[in-house]
Each structure stands twice: as structure tokens, then as C-alpha cells.
Amino acid sequence: MTRKGSPDVGFALFDGRSILSTLTEIDTEREVVLEDNTVLGDADEAWAPVGLKRGTLSQRGFFDDAANSVHDHLVAFAQRTAAIALEGNTIGKKFIGWAGAITTKYRRIASKGTLHKAEAEYQVTGPVDEGIILHAHTQETTAGNTEGASSVDNLASSANGGAGYAEASQLTLGGYTNVALKVRHSADDVTYADLIAFTAITAAPAGERKTVAGTVNRHLASSWAYGGAGSGQSVTFMVGFARG
Amino acid sequence: MTTKRGKKTAAAGPKCYRALVGLTYPTDAEIIRRIQGGESIPYEERGVKEVPAGAVVDDVPAVSVPWLLAQGLIEEVADDAQG
């Protein structure tokens, strides 16, 4: 096990809204729901899992009213997909994905002699996924692919599908009509096949969680391509995948 | 080619497959051999061919054909279906 610290936090994206630069603390929690299973005649308490899991998420940091920054994100009280990397913004590192994080509390704190602060709590709805980063949250100016040396080898296939995350924080189309992001997989690292094709992105910020059933092969990669024609294009995004 | 009975038949070419999802693969046999040997080759150096879903091709790497067929990602088609 390797210890991690605050410099390792790689990104915090909510439907593509990148708010890492405003945060001083993220608190995520997963909990298994139990029921007291103790009956008459028992000498000791007994608890049993009821088959449910739940998650909580909260944040603290600085108030920032720039477009698509923390204020815009929180004041909407919206449900968003979220992806947070606690271990680094690097292909192959883990990230946590939330299918739905609903902002339920937003506190703006102004104190004499300090910068304003912003705090929030979320209600988590749906799955919380433990995924692997297939494309770090970085900018790309041409179409590309992480197959080969930049692919992720999980050493074995899995049979229970999974969930892909795509979060784009910045997009300049420069005449192109969209950018298409994909998760791709391979059994042999020679031929790669489409596994998930996310909805083509025409504006940022944007985020999507998309699931797939069945076999997921051992090698995973991501690809990105611009649709149409143009010049001066760029997109800043992450793609990740959590096996089921 | 001539059979033992003297009847002329078409020479057997590579098998054709229809991609049922988008595929990418190198077409250089040496690159494929190096990948199979465990070498990690960057995407830019692989000489990758991009095949959209629905396209019929005859150059799917032989090593990949079994798992692509088994997972329903390609299907075999008649040789004259390549367009």
C-alpha cells in the first residue's frame, strides 16, 4: 500500500465541471445497510446486510463564481454524474464514479479577513463505481487512441459488464460538429473493439455514465475523434471504466 | 486451381468478416508478431487500420478472429461480399 496525499488528487468533475482548483476537502463514504437481526433467545446482537449500499459525498473549499466553477455547479442543486481521482490524474490509476450526485446543501461562508468559502453536501443516488482511468483529464487537439503502450491491462477478462465514465470540462470545436469518446477493449492487445460509445459531445461541460453488459476483455483503452471538419479544435476530458 | 477431378475452382483467398462493432488492428504481420511477443508498442507506431461497424474486411489478424467471433463482434461472410 502506498500512502497518498492532497497533491495526488487528480480531478473532481461533476458533469464535466472541473472544480478541483476550488476544493480543500472531499469526503466520500460508502456504507452497507444492515438490519438488526437479533431475536428473542439470542444472547448477542446479530446484524445482517439487507443487500443495499449507499454513499455520501461532501466538499469544502473556496467560493468561486467563474462560469462553470463551484458556485455555478452548486447553486443549481442538480443531479450530476461525478468522477473524482484521489490517487492521481494518470492512466491506470483509480477513480471513484458516481452515477448521480444530487446537491442537497450549499453553504456560502463569508468571514472578516478571509476568502469566502463554499461547502456542499450531496445525496448519492444509484451506483458508486470504483473505476480505472483510461484517459487522464488532459487536453487533446487531434484524434487519438490509448491502444498499445497506453492501454490498461487488467490481466483477465470479466463477465459482468461495467460502467464507463466520460467527463469533458472544455471543448473548442473550431468548426467540427462534435467530439466522440469511446471505451475500447481487446482480448489480445492486437485488435481492439468498441465497448462503449458515449453520446457525441457538442458543448462542454458535459458528463455521462454509460453501462455495458457481458464480457469485458482484459485490455482497455479509450479513443477520441472529432466529427466533421475544422481547425483549432481541442477537448479536455477524462474517460474511465469500472468493471462490474 | 485444379481439383483432382479436373474441375476448375477459384483460389481460396483470406476469409472475409463483417465488423459488427468498430474495430482497430495493425495490418503489419511483424507488428502483430511483436505485440504477441509481449512488446508494448505505442498506438502511433502500430499502423492501425480503423474499421467501422458494418464494413467487410479480409485482413482481421488471425490471432483475433476466434475471440471476435466468439463474442459476436464479427461475423463470417461470403468472399464476394467485400465492398
For chain B, domain boundaries = 16-76
CB contact under 8 A, A193 and B73: yes
- Taking the CA of residue A184 and the nearest CA in chain B, the distance in Å comes to 9
Pick from A186-195, A218-227, B70-79: least confident:
B70-79
Q: Does residue A49 have a cis bond before it (omega within 30 degrees)?
A: no
d(CA A9, CA A16): 16
What confidence tier does B11 reach under pLDDT thresholds 50, 70, 90?
A: low
User: Which of A109, A128, A147 is a domain's end point?
Assistant: A128
Contact between residue A23 and residue A17 where contact means Cβ atoms under 8 Å apart:
no
Residue A78 domain flag: yes
Which chain B residues touch A if contact means CB-CB below 8 Å? 21-26, 32, 35-36, 40-43, 45-46, 48, 53, 60-61, 63-64, 67-68, 71, 73
Q: Which residues from A are below 8 Å from B46, CB to CB? A: 147-148
Residue B10 has pLDDT above 60, yes or no: no
Number of helices (H) and strands (E) in chain B: give both, helices first: 2, 5
- Is residue A119 in some structural domain? yes
Beta-carbon separation of B22 and A193 below 8 A: yes
Segments forming the whole domain that contains residue A31: 6-128
Both A117 and A32 in one domain: the answer is: yes
Residue-wise pLDDT tens digits, A116-134:
999 999 999 999 999 999 9
- Which DSSP string do the residues of B9-32 spell out, in sequence order? -PPP-PPEEEESS-EEEE--HHHH
Would residue A38 count as lying in a domain?
yes
Same domain, A146 and A238: yes
pLDDT at residue B12 greater than cutoff 90: no
With a CB cutoff of 8 Å and minimum separation 6, the contacts of A227 are A176, A177, A178, A179, A180, A200
The CA R_g of chain A, rounded to the nearest whole Å, is: 20
| Same-domain check for residues A62 and A163 | no
Rounded to a whole number of angstroms, the distance from the CA of A196 to the nearest CA of chain B is 10
The answer to whether residues A106 and A220 belong to one domain is no
Which of A95, A128, A161 lies at the terminal end of a domain, its last residue?
A: A128
Question: Could you tell me if residue A203 is inside a domain?
Answer: yes
Determine whether the interchain pair B26/A190 forms a contact, defined as Cβ–Cβ distance below 8 Å.
yes
Residue of A nearest to B67 (CA): A187
Does A1 map to a domain? no
Q: Which residue of A has its CA nearest to B59?
A: A191
- pLDDT on residue A186: 98
Of all helices (H) and strands (E), which one includes residue A116?
none
Q: Which residue of B has its CA nearest to A197?
A: B22
B5 by Cβ neighbours in 10 Å (0-12 / 13-18 / 19+) ranks as exposed
Mean pLDDT of chain B: 86
A188 contacts in chain B (CB < 8 Å): 35-36, 63-64, 67
C-alpha cell at A242: 469500472
Read off the DSSP letter of residue A90.
S
d(C-alpha A185, C-alpha A198), whole Å: 15
CA distance A225 to B31: 24
Residues of B in Cβ contact (< 8 Å) with A191? 23-25, 60-61, 64, 68
Total residue count of chain B as it appears in this document: 83
Same domain, A122 and A167: no
Contact B40 A187 (CB under 8 A): no
Q: Are residues A149 and A232 in the same domain?
A: yes
Residues A15 and A118 in one domain: yes
CATH of the domain at A149: 2.60.120.1110
Chain B residue whose CA is closest to A216? B71
* Mean pLDDT, range A76-87, rounded to an integer: 98
Q: Which of A223, A225, A236, A182 is nearest to A68 (CA)?
A: A236
Measured between beta carbons, the chain A residues lying within 8 angstroms of B52 are none
CATH of residue A76's domain is 2.30.110.20
- pLDDT tens per residue, range A40-61: 999 999 999 999 999 999 999 9
**Distance (Å, rounded) from C-alpha A208 to C-alpha A221?**
17
Question: Which residue did the predictor score with more confidence, A5 or B6?
Answer: A5
What's the average model confidence in pLDDT over A142-159? 95
Beta carbon pairs, A and B, within 8 Å = 68
A199 domain residue, yes or no: yes
Number of H-type helices and E-type strands within chain A: 1, 16
Residue B4 pLDDT greater than 80, yes or no: no
Element (H, E) at B83: none
**Residue A205 shares a structural domain with residue A112:** no
Q: Please state the domain count of chain A.
A: 2
The amino acid that residue A146 corresponds to is T
Residue B78: per-residue pLDDT: 83
**Closest to B41 (Cβ–Cβ): which among A144, A149, A217?**
A149
Per-residue confidence (pLDDT) for residue B8, from 0 to 100: 46
Check if A170 contacts B (Cβ < 8 Å).
no
Same domain, A13 and A124: yes
Asked if residue A35 belongs to a domain, the reply is yes
Q: pLDDT band at B13, cuts 50/70/90? A: confident
| β-pairing verdict for A79-85 and A11-14 | antiparallel
Mean pLDDT of B3-10: 48
Question: Is residue A210 a part of any domain in this protein?
Answer: yes
pTM of the model: 0.92
Q: Of residues A34 and B81, which shows the higher confidence score?
A: A34
Percent pLDDT > 90 in chain A is 98
Q: Which residues contact A182 (CB under 8 A, 6 or more apart)?
A: A194, A195, A196, A197, A198, A222, A223, A224, A239, B22
